[in-house]
Amino acid sequence: MKLNIKNTFTSENPADSNLENSRRQVTEAVFSYANPKKTNAPKVLHISPEMASELNISEEETKSEFFKNIVTGNEIYPNTKPFAMCYGGHQFGNWAGQLGDGRAINLFEVQHQNKNWKVQLKGAGETPYSRTADGLAVLRSSVREYLCAEAMFHLGVATTRSLSLSLSGDDVLRDVLYDGNPAYEKGAIVSRISPSFLRFGNYEIFAARKDVKNLKVLVDYTIKHHFSHLGKPSKENYINFFKEVSERTLNMIIDWQRVGFVHGVMNTDNMSILGLTIDYGPYGWLEGFDFGWTPNTTDRQHKRYRYGNQPNIGLWNLYQLANALYPIIEEVEPLNAILEQYKIDFEHRSLRMMQSKLGLYTNHKDDLKLIQNLEDNLQLVETDMTIFFRNLANFDKVDKSNSLNIIENAFYNLDDISDEVKIQWNLWFDTYFQRLQMEFHTNEDRKEKMNAVNPKYVLRNYMSQLAIDEADKGNYDLIDELFQLLKKPYSEQPKNQKWFAKRPEWARNKVGCSMLSCSS
């Protein structure tokens, strides 16, 4: 396994001079060197062939002992020095100070076919940033992250990627419900891949410490390697850099809204500077359409990170990044203009996204009202978001008599739906029918275009939980079944129709299926 190793990050950014792997405050450094913890009986459970290929690792090489040892932290690739990044962050709206890679260790960066990938292990042991934790991860959270990162990629959502999922062979103590009843679980490690794991918090920590020198070093590095099209670092390009981060962040969140994904913990240390979905913790997929739903037990009371609030939180986080960049820009007006533009762009992009989900390709003055009425209807009774929008493509613009029939399997309690609710739906379909007459697409063309933005298959929490339960018993077949299914989320896949179904009733309140903790 011969990789084209680069070390731009570690050679161009200041390193922590203290080489001890002890918990501490790290100052005037972007990262600290830290080696993964060796494990007792590592076992690779699953590999993403596409990601291996991106790194120029052959299928044969992924089966080697060397590969297994690298992706489980038991061996260090020659001439590389693993490290953990220093960053801070606002958590649930409050400045939390230094956070950093508490359970992630960056192994190296690989250059292949003009792409630069950072390879990281999550759950490979403690670092100077682990605070009171052990830096390890468990099988359930690792299965969820491994599958979801790849699923999001195939949905067309900007994301970090997964290379491998492994068992460490060691048991890890976790309190899954934070109720004072910890138990041992199987330890696991995910190898994560991204062009960069830099977060808003990497810049915030320097601004908070008034370390403008290192803030500038890191921003210059970021522009040079990830925004090189902007040109050489300058005050003007610091502003352009912030503008592009803002645009990428909005693009990502619009896609989250489109597919019904709820991140669950949008702290600034979980916001990628590249606008990638990063840190799959207590995420979830909307089952019943509900703007107020959050999957995070920690967020249950205030619902800061609920589905409907994600675009606002994206903006709030960008305000914190603007504050962090201000010391090297020293102008408020251009930053404010970018943040104001985010609001304008969100209104426009959100409307266009919903129009595409409804198969509307021209603009009409009443479209916003049509969409708002639809969103109200979707919350009259529990209605599955994914199934509703997928089935809506079957609506006939010539004959509307099948309207309620095509969406009936999206309702959770069809028998309990009142006549009043049916009237509301029929009124909406009458308006939708009239609106479709203004479009030139045939039923077939519209269906094809709608099915390209409304996925049939998403990684519902109960699906992950089934795979986790099987994996706990030593059966990893379901991990692979879901991995293959989610490679083609927009395809019909008749053989996999069983996964195009509402959340089963047993999963409604089951741990791991409805609410998840931050350790998930």
* CB-count burial class (<10 Å; 0-12, 13-18, 19+) for 388: buried
Catalytic residue among 16, 255, 269, 290: 269
How many Å from the N-terminal Cα to the C-terminal Cα in the chain? 33
Residue positions counted in the chain: 520
Q: Which residues of 398-414 are buried (b: 16+ CB within 10 A; e: fewer)?
A: eebeebeebbeebbbee
Residue pair 275/248 in contact by the 8 Å Cβ criterion: yes
User: Is 39 in contact with 73 (CB distance < 8 Å)?
Assistant: yes
Residue 171, CA atoms < 13 Å, CB-side half-sphere: 5
Closest CA to 319 of 298, 339, 342: 339
Structure tokens at 145: 């992250």
Distance of alpha carbon 168 from alpha carbon 187, whole angstroms? 5
Active site residue 399: no
DSSP at 14 = P
Residue among 174, 13, 1 at smallest CA distance from 106: 13
CA 379 to chain centre: 25
Residue for token pair 């199934």:
387
Contact at 8 Å (CB) between 14 and 28?
Answer: yes
| CA R_g for the chain | 24
Bridge partner residues of 6 (DSSP): 109
The amino acid at residue 142 is: S
Rounded Cα distance between 411 and 169, Å, is 43
What type of residue is 372?
Q
Query: How many separate helices (H) and strands (E) can be counted in the chain?
Result: 17, 13
Residues taking part in catalysis: 269
